Amino acid sequence: MHAMSSHLSKDLDAALWSLADDSRWRSMLAENVYWASCEAFVQTTLLWAFNSRSKAFVADRERRLRKEPTWKPDLAIMSRDDHDAWWGARRAGRCDSKTLRRLARGIVELKVAWTPGNATGSAVLTQKAKTVRDDVDGLEAARTEAPNSEMYMGVIVSGFHKTEGAKALADSLVIIRDALPKAIRTAATTIPLLDGFESAAWKDILENGKKGYSSLLWIPMG
């Protein structure tokens, strides 16, 4: 672990739980789950919650961290002392990804997975679990690109169910967790978000007697 790892990890945890404990935020999350736009919503609000609380760090959105535009993590975190240097590198006519990689202290990737019966194709839970594992492996490989960074993966698991929604969500989280490398499974934490949420705007959902369920599987990788 890096020298300031405990501070960064605590700041991210504080930001995440501040959102999860806010009933207004959960209501907005529910609407974004309904419209399948929750990844962007969580990214944006986590950026705000983290930057408004952390005294030592500041996060930036989707900054390119390779010469070719193939790696743009959801959040890239730098020391506040490095903010001017970071801003100069990202505002250059050509993004100075080498400097950004050197300055990065944390990388956050977010993914969305759906409970059974709420997705098709590549979004089906078992397929998404493989994608999450591939992304975790990619973060491990990216340590050579950003050697001063701690890596974090967040998986937002959601779905609408008539009965046993809590069980479907819990079982889905187990499938995602079991796809992770054994070395980081014990570090993964589940943050509850929605538990049987109902909205008057969800006419098609309510007519079928369904409610919304969601949790975030938060995976610190060190």
Please give the full DSSP string across 60-124, using - where no structure is assigned. EES---SSSTT---SEEEEEGGGHHHHHHHHHSSS--HHHHHHHEEEEEEEEEEE-TTS--GGGS
Contact 5, 150 (CB under 8 A): yes
C-alpha 173/C-alpha 187 separation (Å) is 14
| 150-161 and 104-114 strand pairing | parallel
pLDDT at residue 30, as a whole number = 96
* pLDDT on residue 194: 97
Pairing of strands 150-161, 211-220: antiparallel
Query: For position 50, what pLDDT does the model report?
Result: 98
Mean pLDDT of the chain: 91
What pLDDT is recorded for position 3?
Answer: 38
Write out pLDDT tens, residues 189-209.
999 999 999 998 898 998 999
pLDDT, tens digit, 9 for 90 and up, residues 153-187: 999 999 999 989 999 999 999 999 999 999 999 99
Query: By C-alpha distance, which of 104, 112, 154 is closest to 2?
Result: 104
Closest by Cα among 24, 59, 55, 54 to 44: 59
Question: Side chain identity at 19, as an amino acid letter?
Answer: L
Per-residue pLDDT tens digits for 45-89: 999 999 999 999 999 998 888 766 678 899 999 999 999 999 999
d(CA 29, CA 213): 11
When pLDDT is cut at 50, 70 and 90, the band that residue 28 belongs to is very high
pLDDT number for residue 2: 37
